[in-house]
Structure 1
């Protein structure tokens, strides 16, 4: 069962905490897309093109998404002791797929993190005021934050799958008749 105690298996509390952080990150990334800066073009008295950008909260939302994404990913990694510092895992499909999910979740996490970071940085640059001298009005690419949100969601699915699989692998590693060591917050109490 999914308890915190010594019965083994995935902890519902760990899954719940990580899920909340991942969903907040996802929502903030969607919010950043809807709030990204927009440019309006005008010309000044000398005939130069002036780009005026709307001040938005997209940068703050994207940074919030980055923080929540990082907290959720690190939380699951720390709770499971990063595959290397914990209990012995029984060989089998659960352990194999857990390792695969772990590696892919970190690769997708890095992509999501970088996309959100680039979007936050670009949005901040484009809200700094006016640009002139006949330049084009550049804006943050439409759906850049949506790509970050999508990758955040994929990271969530893979990370939680990893946690469930590694919990299964650790609970099946116990000797016959002995209760398996818990994986969850009870370990740190």
Structure 2
């Protein structure tokens, strides 16, 4: 299997768009302000927009789509016809493991960040007291997801390239072996024919 420019562009584009959404989610995290309740002496939390939850979930979906495309093309490394043993196959296995680790890490950060960002507490406590605080997402969760998305993109590209190189080598090796068997010349048969003539 040769490297397909279309597959490479698709994988890179999906990862980069997911990265942009993850960065946007980090910048648009929900913030909360405490306001007094006009009917009693309690205070309540008022939150800003939930855009980062939508951005985070969009990044999750794009990253998942990219990983599905990659594993469908390469047959998830274990369902294909096999790779040539050597440096390319070893590099493909290592890159495959790194791409899965970074993918799962990015998905975990983005999903956890989206869920936590969507969680809103209503009441903070009694006026002047500090019994409860407004639940907000800690800074850096979406940023970690964005960084892992870039690492996943790099590992996915390296895995696809190494897998394609090892897989191409497999078919070239067997094609050359087949050609060698069919074009083999037997000199003693020709000499027997000449002797009979």
Q: State the TM-score bracket (shorter-chain normalisation).
A: 0.7 to 0.9
Matches within 5 A, 1:1-189: 8-45=1-38, 46-126=40-120, 130-133=122-125, 134-176=131-173, 178=175
TM-score normalised by L of structure 1: 0.84
Greater RCO, CA 8 A, separation 6+: 1
Q: Residue in 2 aligned with 1:185?
A: none
TM-score normalised by L of structure 2: 0.80
Q: How far apart, in 2, do the equivalents of 1:44 and 1:88 lie? A: 67
Bigger Cα Rg: 2
Q: Residue in 2 aligned with 1:183?
A: none
Q: How far apart, in 1, do the equivalents of 2:31 and 2:173 lie? A: 63
Consecutive unaligned residues of structure 2, counting only runs of 5 or more, are 126-130, 177-197
Consecutive unaligned residues of structure 1, counting only runs of 5 or more, are 1-7, 180-189
Over the aligned positions, Cα root-mean-square deviation in angstroms equals 1.7
Q: Residue in 2 aligned with 1:4?
A: none
Q: CA deviation at 1:26?
A: 0.5
Size of the aligned set, in residue pairs, is 170
Q: How far apart, in 1, do the equivalents of 2:99 and 2:134 lie? A: 36
Q: CA deviation at 1:138?
A: 2.4
Q: How big is each residue's C-alpha offset from its partner over 1:95-120, in whole Å with a ceiling of 9 and x where there is no partner?
A: 00110110121111111101100111
Say if 2:124 and 2:134, in contact at 8 Å, map to a contact too: no
Q: How far apart, in 2, do the equivalents of 1:132 and 1:88 lie? A: 59
